[in-house]
Every structure is written in C-alpha cells, then in structure tokens.
Structure 1
C-alpha cells in the first residue's frame, strides 16, 4: 500500500474537479480549505454552509467515487487524523464537546469506538496473529509516545506468558535499531501506532519486514501507514478527543489478545503464576487480606 494513501481524497478531488458542477466545485473548495471542520458535518449541514442541497452533497460524494456521503466522511477522518497538529486538534474538537458534560461525552465516545471495533474486527486475522505469536522464536513489541503505554501493558503480560518477549525501549531511531538488528524470519514484531503515526514505529516495521520477520500491526485503519509493512493487521478504532489520544478500544483489543494466548498456553501460565505467587508472597509484593485488616480496617473500627 502506498505510504500516501491517506491523501487519496485530495487526489480524487483534484482529478474530478474539472468535470464537477458549479455547486460541487463549491463543496470541493470548502473541503480543501476547511477539511478539519467538514469532517464533523452531516451532508445537510455541509450543504447549508456551502449553499447547495443535501442531494448535491451526496452526488458530489458519488462523483468522487465514494459509495455515499458516509464513505466520503470516513476518508475525511483519515485525512484529518494525519494532518492536524495537537494544537489544531484541541481547537477542532473543543466545538464537539459539551463543556458541562465532558465525562459523559468522552465515555460515550470510547464506548462507541469499542462498538465499532467489535463490528469491524476480522476474527480470522485475529486468530492468524495468535498463531504467529505462538510460533515465534522471539516476540518484539514496539510502541512509542502515547502508544508506549499500550506496548508496556502488552509486554507486562507477555512476560508472564512467554520467555521470549522483548519490549523495545527507545528514545531515538538509533537506539531502536540497536535493539532489533538481530531480528529474522522466525521472529514476530508487534508494532503499535495510532494517529499521529510514529515514524520510529514505521521504520522499525519496514526494517523487520526487510529481514523477513512476521509483522503484526495494531493500528486504527487499513489506510494506516503501518499496514504496508505488516503481514497481519489488527484494527481498533481511536479518536481525537482534544489532544488526548483515545486508546480504549486498542487496549480492549490487546486484552483480547492476551486472554486468547493465556487460553492457548493455559498449563504453562498456571505453572508460572503458581511460582510467582510464592515469590510475591515471600517478598510482600502485594498487600494481603490479613495485612489490610490489621493496618487499615482494625484501627478505623476502634475509633
């Protein structure tokens, strides 16, 4: 897939522009100049702003080769995600949020992203990823910036399940390559990136693919630049609620990945946890019930 596929909408508008009607040209100009606003508009609202009918908006989408206005809007979403700076994201999304009900808006938005992810996920591809991971000589996990939290979570549980996991810690491209230069055909790389996509992650996946490793992408769209370097792509919806990346659906997908692998390796996982429980207890890693009662509940009951 071409790295610039996400600019496909702009190319379509440019190619179709000479044959567009006067009203459709007005729509094209508005989208080219104000795509960050157009992405949140219904066909009726977009038509009203530009001064054309809703049916003209629908015909415009068809003229560009999209099967209806929702498909055009999806292409706009992809464009916006890759184009907007953090500052612009705050500006654009602040208009969407009811300032008096921020909690409700964000939770509802996250719930919708999980719902869409569930509707769109391909279980065959998910199972393919499971098999790749189980067959791997070594598993490399890479996610930087906000995605480092997802990579760290996945790495924490993979270290309990497998003894061949490497979580890539990197602040630079050179450090990253120093950690993955031994990668080969028997290994798996799990690259995690969501808009705005990390160049470091993309370069690592490109390198891994060139070394014939199996590459699994965890990203938000089939238009993501990670896709072209992956053997297997797990898609989870993200959103841009202000400058904060909404990564709830990706985390839910990662949870599913961990649970599925735990089931496949149930006996080994149980042995590991049994041994770890003894260590955790001996070295007092976790608060136990007896300590909690003695230190917290008993003093309060005496008062």
Structure 2
C-alpha cells in the first residue's frame, strides 16, 4: 500500500480488483467501524462471499491476518477522533503570547505537505471533470461555506457556469434534482460531517451527478458517494482552511487557463464596465 492508509488504498484500487473483492471493498468503506467488531466469518456472511475469499483479500492487501486489518482500521478511527478533540481543545490553550508564531509555522507546514502524489493524481482528474462539465455546483456547510463562496467568486470572474448550493439550505435538494451527469458537484467538508452534505452526495450519485469531495477524512460517509476525492492534511492543533483555500486558488488558475480565451475577454469586459460605472478606480 505504500504510504496510503488502508481506506485510501481501497478507494483508489477498487476498480482493479475482482468482483468479489470489490464487494468487500464497498462493505468495508461503508461499515469500517462495524468491521472492527466482526470475525472473518461474520464479514463473509455480511458480504455474501466465502471465508476463503475474505482471507485471500486480506493477504492481497498485505496483512497477515484479519486481526491485523482490524487493528489498522481502529488506528485510523482513533487518529481522526483525536484530531477533532485536539481542534476543540486548541481554543482553550494558553500559548503565552506566541500564538501568531505557532499558527504561522503550522500553516506553512500544512502547505509544504499538501501536494502529495495521491492528491496530484486526483487533482488532474478533478480539473478534467470540472472543465468539461456543463455547470460546477459548490456545496460547503457551516465554516466550509466560506470556501465554496470564495471559489464561486473567483470562477465567476471568467465563467458563468458556476452555481452555489450553500446559501439556501432549504432548497439544496431542489437544486440537486435539476442536475444530471453533465454537471458536477464539489463538496467542501472536513470531519465531523453533516447529514445534509451526506444526503446531497447520495442523491447526486443516484442521479448520476459526479461528485468531487474535498476533505481531510477518508473515513467520511460521503466517500462512498464520491467520484473523485481530494484529501488534504489538516492541523491537529488549530482549525484552519489554508490548505483548502490554497487548493481552490490552484484549481481556479487552471480552470481559467482551460478557458483562457473566454476568461481574458470576460475579465477585460468586466473591468471596463466597472471603470465606466465608477465602481473601480486606478
């Protein structure tokens, strides 16, 4: 598996596996917490495959036993749980006046570690999907609404084909029902996850609408409804959207280049209009 955690590896390699192994992957991604309490025989019954298939699957993943797989899943669950607890407790810390230095260094570390080979590979697929889609629909709830609104503001400078799902939570489902396979939904959300975001992703999958999910949590229930996952590092010390915002700016620049001729013309026309109306000064 290299440096990938087990769930990342399963998501990325599922299509290369046999049909029965894909069934196991689907079940584990959806029920990873329950799997840690099962025996290999119980897992085989739940998935509808033989115990021999389960054991072969485990060995092909590089584990010596089913117990070793469960330990890896438990380790991941503990890691994400601890991270959220650390974020909550960070607001109670007394850093003796050095908050600015500590937070700045942490943000620089996150940016340095951001562009992993796994992220770059999925990033290329995400850009390709957004570039060819009829509309790009953005969803971010609570603090992640800021990320969705920021991306909308930047893209709208050169393209009208961007829509915001985050502003009116009452009508989100109505808007999703008007989308199809020619559109794409981009969901911004770190852990813990909101039920409405999960519902949007599930309905999108049912309607054949591709979903790009930007997150820090490969254990998210949104994963199983997502076509492309952009996994970012998040701080275990302080809450920050710096990696997410940086990724947005990278994506916007590339989308602008993909639509370069239209982008330049649209921005020039907008700039001229704003100057003529006195909304912009040199």
Confirm or deny a common fold (TM above 0.5).
yes
Find the partner of 1:183 among 176, 179, 185.
Answer: 179
Whole-angstrom distance in 1 between the partners of 2:69 and 2:133: 47
Q: Report Cα offsets for 1:125-158 as digits up to 9, x if no partner.
A: 1111111111112221111110000000111122
5+ residue gaps, structure 2: 1-25, 40-66
Q: Secondary structure in 2 aligned to 1:142?
A: strand
What's 1:225 paired with? 221
CA distance in structure 2 between the aligned counterparts of 1:113 and 1:121, rounded to whole angstroms: 16
Structure 1 228/63 Cα, relative in aligned 2: closer, same or farther at 3 Å? closer
Give the one of 124, 127, 133 matched to 1:127. 124
Q: Which runs of 5+ in 1 are unaligned?
A: 17-60, 289-303
CA distance in 1, matches of 2:164, 2:111: 26
- Between the aligned partners of 1:253 and 1:175, the Cα distance in structure 2 is 27
Q: Say whether residues 1:278 and 2:272 are aligned partners.
A: yes
The aligned residue for residue 215 of structure 1 is 211
1:91 aligned to 2:89?
A: yes
When Rg is computed on C-alpha atoms for both structures, the one with the higher figure is 1
| 1:260 Cα deviation from its structure 2 partner | 1.1
Q: Does 197-206 or 232-241 show the bigger shift?
A: 232-241
Contact 1:185 1:213 in 2 (8 A): yes
| 1:200 and 2:193 aligned | no
Give the distance between the partners of 1:182 and 1:116, measured in 2 at CA.
38
- How far apart are 1:165 and its partner, in Å? 1.3
Deviations 1:45-92 (A, max 9, x none): xxxxxxxxxxxxxxxx9796449xxx94x542212356x5xxx84436
TM-score w.r.t. length of structure 2: 0.71
Contact map agreement 1:219 1:226 (CA 8 A) in 2: no
In the TM superposition, 1:1-303 aligns within 5 A as 2-5=29-32, 7=33, 12=36, 65-66=71-72, 72=75, 75-81=77-83, 84=85, 89-91=87-89, 94=92, 98-119=95-116, 121-172=118-169, 174-239=170-235, 241=237, 245-288=239-282
CA deviation string 1:9-28 (max 9, x = no partner): xx64x679xxxxxxxxxxxx
Deviations 1:150-197 (Å, cap 9, x if unpaired)? 00011112212322211113453x421122221111111111111222
Residues paired across the two proteins, number: 228
